[in-house]
A and B are shown apart, each in its own frame.
Chain A
Amino acid sequence: MLEVSNLHVKYGNIEALHGISFHVDEGEMVALLGANGAGKSTTLMSIMRLPPPEGPQVTKGEIRFNGVDLLPVAAHILIVKYGVGLVPEGRHIFGNLTVFENLKLATYARKDKDQIEKDYERVFSLFPRLADRRWQRGDLLSGGEQQMLAIGRAFMSGVRFVLLDEPSMGLSPLLMLELFRVLKELNESGTTILVVEQNARIALKYAHRAYVLEAGKIVLEGAAEALADNPEIQKAYLG
């Protein structure tokens, strides 16, 4: 489904990714692990093609989605036409809009009214807290609720492939578990997921496969259980 090969990415004159390659197949949940500054967010931003100054610049390599070259494709087209969405690091929900407006805005380009109604219900049943707070401003939500809203929003935009950047950041262990259970549920009902995490333990518990990124290079990859048993990983990330 998603095929990244020999991707080089820079910020200004500094290269942040030194030729990484990986792939995510349809229906998979894949984790991208690594320490702070390894280049995980850069990888996701490169796929989403956010315009400068937000986005990093791809200098070499390929990003293909079902064979289509994604490099010339703008972010909003990626969502509308190819069904690839991003839940960015730090959530980026619209704090001046209500929960419901946040979700509604995500349906901007959708025309399938009936399915949209069903999707609202799905989001509210996955995240009952959002239903309770649907008329509240986004910036009044707790961190966990904001993360749920960010995921709900991606779901409402109708994408079938979601990139998630550190969804567990700042969440209590309990909320983290709840969140990953929901991700798993979404994955099992057909959403392909690429999730970036610093918390390797929880990511490896729920993902099918994982890649480990270190200083802009992929240093390890494999099935999640195998990686969880890998002594190197245990030492570096599962401590």
Chain B
Amino acid sequence: MSFEIFFQNLLNALQWGSFYALIALGYTMVYGVLLLINFAHGDIFMVGAYIGFFFATLLMGKYAGFSTGLPPAVIFGLTVLVTMVLTAGVGVAIERIAYRPLRRKGASRLYVVITALMCGLILENGNLALLGASRRNFPELLPNTVHNIAGVTFSNVKILVIVTTILVFILLETIVRKTKLGMAMRAISYDRMAVPLMGIPVDTVIVFTFILGSSMAALAGVLFATAYPVLEPYMGALVGWKAFIAAVLGGIGEIRGAFVGGFLLGFVEIFVAALFPSTLRDLIAFSILLVFLSIKPTGIFGIARATKI
């Protein structure tokens, strides 16, 4: 592998790792707070990409002759923000409508996980019913330019994805370490029963967690659509599963774990694909991860939960 090709692969690995990491966050935070594997989360990523698509095309004047005349980069910025807010609303709505009533009734976790799976299917098929099976092309808001510095080439979108993900990591770590809500999130993952005894409404912490997780999935959705502009209703399924694997690899319940697991998965996938025939990619990649998990079943940062709950 020449240096140039290695560097391209490295960038690709970091970019895919970023997508996985941003989505894995939502899995891991919700698990930390509720011990729920929120299988609807991959589809929240899809919902984010679609909301981004409609909002961006709306601002570009694709509907009813309404046009803002804003420059594309501004539209991109607005799209990211608005999509994060709206998608967070979708995540919170699912929590309210589907998970909270079950929690109130003290339903066993299995039922809640099944409910999550069903919510995901409803989102996919709702999208299919509403918008049809045709694919949509995400508008090119940031022209994909390739830079060349000292013989290495890289595209602006890849750099944007990677840098954004690193900033998100710093932001979330700060929230979780320094704010009271963040502390409450960590506290719940350790001892759920004692949290209300601190005068903390547990539901507020749960809603906050869903807001963080869903908005990060939305961010991933818009960035993904910017890099790979084809949208279809099932786009969240495979990426979602892989992000879930990333969360488990990193140690579910750990924010650092979501990032490290995401990047690890990105690296294994890309470098396996670079060295082996592409049909063997997932087979070899997941075999490696299987071996890894059988050696360290709690994931990289995870601790055994045997003593808890």
Contact = CB atoms under 8 A, between A and B. Distances in A.
A78 to B, nearest CB: 9
Contact of B199 (A50, A53, A76, A88): A76
A80 B199 CA distance: 6
B40 to A, nearest CB: 24
B194 A79 contact: no
A113 to B, nearest CB: 13
A105 B197 contact: no
B187 A97 contact: yes
Contact of B196 (A75, A104, A107, A110): A75
Interface string A41-80: 0000000101111100000000000000000001110011
B234 interface: no
A105 B200 contact: yes
Contacts of B167: none
A54 B187 CA distance: 17
Given A94-B187, A105-B184, A76 B194 contact: no
Main secondary structure of the interface of A (DSSP, over half): loop
Interface in B150-191: 180, 183-184, 186-187, 189-191
A137 B200 CA distance: 21
Contacts of B121: none
Contacts of A94: 186-187, 190-191, 194
* Chain B at the A interface: SS class: helix
B193 A157 contact: no
B126 interface: no
A91 B212 CA distance: 30
A158 B194 CA distance: 16
A20 interface: no
A86 B180 contact: no
A104 B184 CA distance: 10
A150 to B, nearest CB: 9
A88 B186 contact: no
A79 B202 CA distance: 13
A65 to B, nearest CB: 16
B200 A92 contact: no
Interface string B55-96: 000000000000000000000000000000000000000000
A144 to B, nearest CB: 18
Contact of A97 (B104, B186, B202): B186
Contacts of A39: none
A93 B191 CA distance: 8
A87 B198 CA distance: 10
Contact of A108 (B180, B186, B190): B180
Best-surrounded residue of B105, B106, B193, B201 (most CB of chain A within 10 A): B193
A51 B183 contact: no
Question: Which among B104, B186, B196, B200 has the greatest number of chain A C-beta atoms within 10 A?
Answer: B196
Contacts of B189: 96
Contact of B198 (A54, A74, A96, A108): A108
B194 A108 contact: no
Most buried by B among A76, A80, A93: A76
A8 interface: no
Given A52-B104, A76-B201, A94-B186, 5 more contacts: A51-B104, A74-B201, A76-B196, A76-B202, A93-B194
Interface of B: 104-106, 180, 183-184, 186-187, 189-191, 193-194, 196-202
18 contacts: A74-B201, A76-B196, A76-B199, A79-B197, A79-B199, A80-B199, A92-B194, A92-B197, A93-B191, A94-B191, A94-B194, A96-B189, A104-B183, A105-B184, A105-B187, A105-B200, A108-B198, A108-B200
